[in-house]
Amino acid sequence: MQTKTRAALVAGLSATTLLAACGGGGGGSNGSGDSQTQASGQAGGSISVRGCNPQNPLVPANTTETCGGNVLDVVTAKLVAYNPDTAAPENDIAESIETKDNQNFTVKIKPGYKFHDGTEIKANNFVDAWNYAAYAPNAQSAAYFMEPIEGYTDLQPAEGADASAKPKADKLTGLKVVDDHTFTIKTTEKVSNLPLRLGYTAFAPLPESFFKDPKAYGEKPVGAGPYTVEKWDKNQQIVLKKFADYTGARPGKADEIVYRIYQDSEAAYKDVMANKLDATDEIPESAMIGKQYQSDLPERTAEKDEGLIQTATFAPVKVDPTMADPKVRQAVSMAIDRDTIIQQIFDGSRKPATGWVSPVVDGYKADQCGEFCTYDPAKAKQTFDQAKVKPSRITLSYNGDASHKAWTEATCNSIKQALGVDCVATPVVDFKTFRTQVTSREMKGMFRTGWQMDYPSIENFLTPVFATGGSSNDGDYSNPKFDAKLKEAAAATDANQANTLYQEAEAMLTEQMPAVPLWYGHRIVGWSENVTDVKIDPFGRIDLTQISKKA
C-alpha cells in the first residue's frame, strides 16, 4: 500500500397515473469501469454484510439515517418502489396513484399484500401511519415529509406556544379512507412530484400492532418487505429472515441476511478479504491508494456513481456563533483543495462538488456554488479576514466507525494552511453517538454530513436538508425566500419549469453557505469468494434482494 502518499497529504497539504419512467443505468463494474460478469448464484443460505449502529429504534418515520435506513429498505414495502437499475418509480403496493390537478390524489392499493404478521395491508394502515408521523408529540424525525398534506400545521404546536404544547388536531384533514383498498390525499398546495416521494421509507404503512406497542415495533419492526427482522443484538448484529408470504416484485434470493455491526470499516474490509464477511459497502481509505482494493479482491469489486453528496455542515448559529458569518463559511469552502484530496485520499474515485445536488438526478445543474467551491487560498484568506467575527480554532467532527479520518484530516490541513487558523479533525466513537450529538444541537464547529437521496429528485437534495424545519436541516438554515422558491417549484406543472425553480433555490445557498459541498458519491463495494450477483443500486446500496451464494 502506498501509505506514504496519503500521509504526505494528511500531514503537509500545502401528475397522472404513476408510470415507470425510462432511463439508463449502470450495473456493477470493476475498477476500470468495464461491465463485470459474475458467476451465477443459487437461492438460499445466509449472507453477511457490513452494518452500523442505527441512531434510533427502527420505526420508518423516525429513521432518517442510512444505518437504520438500509435495514428498513428490505424490511418495509411502500406504495412505490424505485427500479434498482434506473431509480425510476414503479408501483409496488399501489395499484394506481391518480391526480388531475397535482393537489388531489386517489390511491388504490393491491388487495392481498400482507404484513409480516399475516394481516392484510389496507388503506387505513397508510393513513394511520402518516397521521402518527405528522403528529408533533410523537417526535418523529421524518415528520417533515408529511408537511405538504393538508392539515399538517394543526398537528404542530401553535406558533409561539411551548414545544410540548398539545396541537390543535391529531389527524391530517388531507387524508381520507374511501374503502379498504382506496384512500385520498389532498395537499395544501400543488405538489407535482408527490407520487415520486411515496417510495421513501417514512411513507411505509404500519400494522395495527405498531399502535399497541410502538417500542416493541422499534426493536423488531413488522413491515411488508421481502425480509423480516429475526433479532437485533445491539452493537453486534441485525438478523433478517426471508418472508415466505411476500407478494411484491422483488423477493430476495438468500434465506437470511445478517448485518454485522462494525466500529471500523477497515476491520470489515479485512473480514471480506478473509472470507469471514460476505460483502462490504465501504472500502477503507488505505485500500483506495493505487486501487489496492482491486488486488485485494480480484474480480470481486463493483463501482457506480450514486445519488449522494458529501458535505461539511456548519453548526447552527445559536450553537456556535463564531462560525456564523457567511464570509467565514465561504472562506472555508474556498480553502479546501478538493481535487488534491480526491486524488490522494480517494485515488481519483470521487468528483469535486460544484453545488448541493447530485449529478445523477434530473434537474442537476453544474457550478451552482460558483467561486466558493473553487480552491483559491489567497481569496479564501482575504474573505476570512473580512469577517467581523472569526473562530480562533475550527473543528471538523466525524463518526469514527467509518473511513473518514484521512479526508477530514486532509481537509483540515488545507483549511489551516490557507486561512492560518488551527483546524482539527475530531472523531466521535460511532455513527449513533455522532448523530445524536448533531440532532441534539451539541456539536460545534463543522461536522461531516452526507445526503443519500431518498427518491430521485433535485427537490430531495434541497427540501429536507435546507428548508426551514427540514427533517435533516442539521445547521438550522432558514431563508424565507428559499422556502418560497421551493413551494413555487413544487407547484409547477411542467417538470422543466420545476427544475429551473429548484435550481434558482439552490443558487441562494451561496449567500449564507449553510454547508460546504465537498464531492459527489461514487460507491465501491467488495465481496468475498463465497457470494455472487452483487449489484449496486442508484442509491449506492448493495441490492440485498439479488446477492446470492455461489453455486
**CB neighbourhood size of 382 (10 A):** 13
Intervals of the chain under pLDDT 50:
1-36
For residues 420 and 513, give the distance between their C-alpha atoms in angstroms, rounded to a whole number. 21
Residues 232 and 328 in one domain: no
Residues 236 and 334 in one domain: no
Q: Identify whether 204 is part of a domain.
A: yes
User: 257: closest CA among 49, 506, 402, 432?
Assistant: 49
User: 395: closest CA among 448, 437, 441, 356?
Assistant: 448
Q: Identify whether 15 is part of a domain.
A: no
For residues 108 and 305, give the distance between their C-alpha atoms in angstroms, rounded to a whole number. 34
Q: What is the pLDDT of residue 334?
A: 98
User: 292-316 burial, b if ≥16 CB within 10 A, otherwise e?
Assistant: bbbebbeebbbbbbbbbbbbbbbbb
Residues 316 and 175 in one domain: no
**CB neighbourhood size of 219 (10 A):** 13
Q: What is the pLDDT of residue 211?
A: 98
Per-residue pLDDT of 335-390, as tens digits, reads 999 999 999 999 999 999 999 999 999 899 999 999 999 999 999 999 999 999 99
pTM: 0.81
In the numeric block, which cell numbers belong to residue 63?
Answer: 429513521
User: 231: closest CA among 245, 220, 216?
Assistant: 220
Q: What is the pLDDT of residue 39?
A: 61
Tally of domains within the chain: 2
Q: What is the pLDDT of residue 297?
A: 98
User: 286: closest CA among 403, 425, 411?
Assistant: 403
Length of the chain, in residues: 551
For residues 40 and 533, give the distance between their C-alpha atoms in angstroms, rounded to a whole number. 7
Q: Identify whether 276 is part of a domain.
A: no
Q: Identify whether 253 is part of a domain.
A: no
Residues 397 and 501 in one domain: yes
Name the residue range of residue 381's domain: 306-522
Residues 310 and 201 in one domain: no
Q: What is the pLDDT of residue 403?
A: 86
Q: Identify whether 292 is part of a domain.
A: no
Q: What is the pLDDT of residue 22?
A: 28
Q: Identify whether 46 is part of a domain.
A: no
